[in-house]
Amino acid sequence: MKTLEMEPMKLIVSIVERGQGKDLIRLFTQQNVLHHMQCGGKGTATSEIMDLLGLDSLEKDVVFSIGKGTLANQLMRDLNHDLRGSLRVKGIVFDMKLTAMAHVTALAILAPVKNEQGREDTMMEEGKTSSMILVTVNQGFTEEVMDTARKAGARGGTIIHARWAGSESAEEFYGITLQQEKEIIAILSPSEQRKEIMEAINKAHGLKTEARGTVCSLAIEDVVRLG
């Protein structure tokens, strides 16, 4: 049976002012990036950094969008150039390659999007300069984690409320009790600072501490600041 070769897919993450997520979703949909999930988040940046970035509120909309790699690349270019002046949205947008996806899911995402003839994807593959650090901790420890991260060089982060959905075997393996209510802290960091930030967080707030923290990072393809 012949296997259908899929075009690489990308995840676009947008962190914008509360209430502006729907505007971004509408724009992305017009650009043929059609699949989105929106949730609420809370920023942790200091007032000085918020002033520097032109941000007004700590309350955030976090939008996860999935689309074809070529469309995501074009969208990121347009956000950085042609669309920048027309957007009344403040925040940050970055994208990452998806390394795997269920075949049926990929078909569902690709089906509504017609192939664009005559367009070449000219974005060059370069060394990744930014990383997204994801820290999952028990509720009530986000401020302590961010204090540690800032001392290691982080400028701010976004908090997303979550809930543990793993199996009891994880608790048995680590010999700990995992709290159900969790908070995810997403920290955008220059790649050269990533290791220091992650090590500091893991040392102070890792699985053997009351925070029960886990830390990982993802390479960021491109970053666009809006507003």
Q: What is the pLDDT of residues 141-192, one digit of tens each?
A: 999 999 999 999 998 898 887 655 444 544 444 454 555 678 889 998 988 9
Measured between alpha carbons, how far is 141 from 68 in angstroms, rounded to an integer? Answer: 37
Q: Is the pTM of this model over 0.75?
A: no
Q: Could you tell me the CA-to-CA distances from 122 to 30, 53, 61, 196 in Å, in that order?
A: 21, 29, 31, 34
Q: Are strands 59-68 and 130-138 parallel, antiparallel or unpaired?
A: unpaired
Q: What is the pLDDT of residues 26-70, one digit of tens each?
A: 999 888 888 887 888 877 766 665 555 555 667 888 888 888 889
